[in-house]
Structure 1
Amino acid sequence: MNPTLQTNNGTLRIGYKGTSPWYEAWKRLRKQKSALIGLGMILFFILVGIFAPLIAPEPYDPANPVYNPTNGLQPPSEKHWLGTDDLGRDIFSRILHGARISLWVGFVSVAGSIVVGTALGLISGYYGKWADTLISRLFDIMLAFPSILLAIAIVAVLGPSLSNALLAIAIINVPTYGRLVRSRVLSVKEEEYITAARVIGMSNSRILFQHVLPNCMAPIIVQGTLGIATAIIEAAALSFLGLGAQAPQPEWGKMLSDARPYLTTAPWTMIFPGIAIMLTVLGFNMFGDGLRDALDPKMKQ
């Protein structure tokens, strides 16, 4: 609501630009250099993945790779900026195309975890009773296992592939978002405006989606941003163990696995994919930390 100022000639209205909480959060975010650097790194890798066929000096088709063992394990040069692997494939081209796979796994798996975890958290926190007990015990059981071991078990049952690795990563992260939403719902549903909504006869579904869920979005967004970094690492770990992406897919974790025998003779085959993973994860972590500070009400002045 715009404030008003009474004058002799009438009422003068004074408006403030961008009074919404999201605009205020964006203003706080813009003041954090580390968060903006992280956002820039994220956008850089997204653009790299989108335009990989145009950027790569030697176009590489993941579905139909061209092997040239006679050109294998070549050090970085003018022709091959980051060198070649044991099969003569250009590492720079593979890293560019690998950005598509790693980012796709990160975004899709986290999106799936958020959808399922948020739904279960809303039901558990709002309705309580037996639903809360059942869902909470399910989360406790899943959290009792180390996440990477649970992911390995799921992929071992379903079979090694990138899609199954994505599904496993989404499943193991559901409790994280479920418990986060549940704790937020338990706090929000005791607010006076929720009680007023019940008194006027508003249905539970309208209360959940119009009042409760919007108040849970800030922590979900922050956790989701940080979760993408974790998902990229988990996907790389599964591929490194041979349970994720399969040859000839240019996934960064798979590239590290294939380069293990050449760590001492051709270290560039492992160094550059490792740097790509590190920079991508660092970008999401820096941006996620900035979002957490920007969306925290305690940070408001």
Structure 2
Amino acid sequence: MPKLEHSPLQPANPIEIEKKTSFLRLLWHNYKKNKLAVIGLGIILAFIILAVFAGLIAPEGINEQKTGERLLPPSSQYWLGTDDFGRDILSRILHGARLSLTVGFVAVIGSVIVGTLVGVIAGYYGKWIDALISRGFDILLAFPSILLAIAIVAVLGPSLQNALLAIAIINVPTFGRIVRSKVLGLKEEDYVEAARSIGMKNSRIIIYHILPNSMAPIIVQATLCVATAILEAAALGFLGLGAQAPDPEWGRMLSDSRTYLQQAPWTVFFPGIAIMLTVLGFNLIGDGLRDALDPKMKE
């Protein structure tokens, strides 16, 4: 009988694809059991959509000043009121979502890449390399994170980019220690020993065996760290070390409006609510992912 050729329309490895699909289905099945986590996902998806389409949704320009309409309370014309320059607060919050979410995601991605790389090297190779890297982590963790971020921005200069860099730096030890502790256990597993015995290079062992099995705690911690990064960016903006005027960053909006807290509380209330909901959403997602990725929770 003639040998059947592999059709290019068929997947090259249907077993692997089925495994990945089954994993994602099982992950979602476990995740949606946590109703609060589903609510958190909905909150973040809503903010992402608002941030992406802020230019279309925002009723006014973010820096469009109307001096005759300063500090107006929420109304049918200005749903969230106006600030001390007569700017529409709703428009500025929508555009501020872009800045806050960008800072959160970019800073955490940088922390994950650097922290994972350094943590894998420390945990896998051990000895003096591990000792040196671990002491570096201890030094960074010895400082309160926000004070370390303030010190870094003070040296580099106040700006949103420098605040982003500072937030990324202070979160590197968190990911580094998580990955290091995970790698210390994984490198003693039988399948890693078998890979070494057949002469597989360390780099291939790390890429194909160590990293894939270290992703669960990294994903959970990254989700939680996005919330922390947004909060830290808001704190730096509030102190005048992050985003600079007239950027509509939420922390900066709080700082600019604190003088009018009693006269026009809505100028502080709504940016604060935006920060609270975003941080809450990411924390709920992190809790849901932690439960979904816990082997004890799987059926």
TM-score by length of 2: 0.92
Give 2:53's match in structure 1, choosing from 13, 36, 51.
Answer: 51
1:271 lines up with 2:255 in the alignment:
no
Counterpart residue number, 1:197: 195
Give the fraction of aligned pairs with identical amino acids, expressed as a percent: 71
| Aligned CA distance change for structure 1 residues 100 and 18 (closer, same or farther; 3 Å) | closer
- Find the aligned partners of 1:23 and 1:208 in 2 and give their Cα distance: 27
- List structure 1 runs of 4+ shifted beyond 6 angstroms: 16-19
- Find the counterpart in structure 2 of residue 244 from structure 1: 242
8 Å contact kept, 1:230–1:281? yes
- Within-5 A mapping of 1:96-107: 96-107=94-105
- The residue identity in structure 2 corresponding to 1:208 is I
In structure 2, the partner of 1:290 is: 288
2 CA distance for matches of 1:247 and 1:298? 49
Per the TM alignment, residue 20 of structure 1 is displaced from its structure 2 partner at its CA by 4.1
Per-residue CA distance 1:5-52 (angstroms, 9 max, x = gap): xxxxxxxxxxx9877444322211122211111111111000000001
**1:67 Cα deviation from its structure 2 partner:** 2.2
Q: Following the alignment from structure 1 to structure 2, what is the Cα–Cα distance between the partners of residues 281 and 289?
A: 12
**Cα 1:31–1:108, aligned 2, differ >3 Å: closer, same or farther?**
same
Distance 1:18 1:113, change over 3 A: closer
Q: What are structure 1's unaligned runs of at least 5 residues?
A: 1-15
Q: CA deviation at 1:53?
A: 1.2
CA–CA distance in structure 2, aligned partners of residues 167 and 102 of structure 1: 14
How far apart in 1 are the matches of 2:64 and 2:274?
23
Q: 1:29 aligns with which of 28, 31, 40?
A: 31
Q: Is the 8 A contact 1:50 1:100 kept in 2?
A: yes
Report the counterpart of residue 128 of structure 1 in structure 2: 126
**Contact 1:239 1:253 (C-alpha < 8 Å) held by counterparts:** yes
8 Å CA contact 1:189–1:212 kept in 2: the answer is yes
**Residue 186 of structure 2 corresponds to which residue in structure 1?**
188
Question: How many residues are treated as equivalent by the alignment?
Answer: 282
Shift of residue 298 of structure 1?
1.6
Distance 1:83 1:45 in 2: 20
Query: Partner of 2:170 in structure 1?
Result: 172
SS at match of 1:259: helix
Return the alpha-carbon distance in structure 1 between the equivalents of residues 210 and 28 of structure 2: 22
Give deviations 1:247-279, integer Å, cap 9, x for gaps. Answer: 010000000000110000000000000000000
- 2:297 is aligned to 299
Aligned partner of 1:39: which letter?
L
Matched residue, 1:7 = none
Give secondary structure in 1 for the equivalent of 2:264.
coil
Letter in 1 for 2:179: V
Q: CA deviation at 1:82?
A: 0.4
Distance, in Å, in 2 between the alignment partners of 1:208 and 1:22 is 23
> What is the CA-CA distance between 1:70 and the residue it aligns to?
2.3
Name the CA distance, whole Å, in 2 between partners of 1:265 and 1:70.
Answer: 17
Alpha-carbon deviation of 1:241?
0.2
Amino acid across the alignment from 2:280: L
Residues 34 and 167 (structure 1 numbering): CA distance in 2 closer, same or farther, change over 3 Å?
same
Contact 1:18 1:24 in 2 (8 A): no
Distance 2:142 2:101 in 1: 28
| Unpaired stretches in structure 2, ≥5 consecutive residues | 1-17
Mapped to 1, the partners of 2:49 and 2:291 lie a distance apart of 26
Structure 2 counterpart of 1:151, one-letter code:
A
Change (3 A) 1:20 1:125: farther
Q: TM-score, normalised by structure 1?
A: 0.92
The answer as to 2:205 corresponding to 1:207 is yes
What does residue 70 of structure 1 align with? 68
Aligned partner of 1:233 in structure 2 is 231
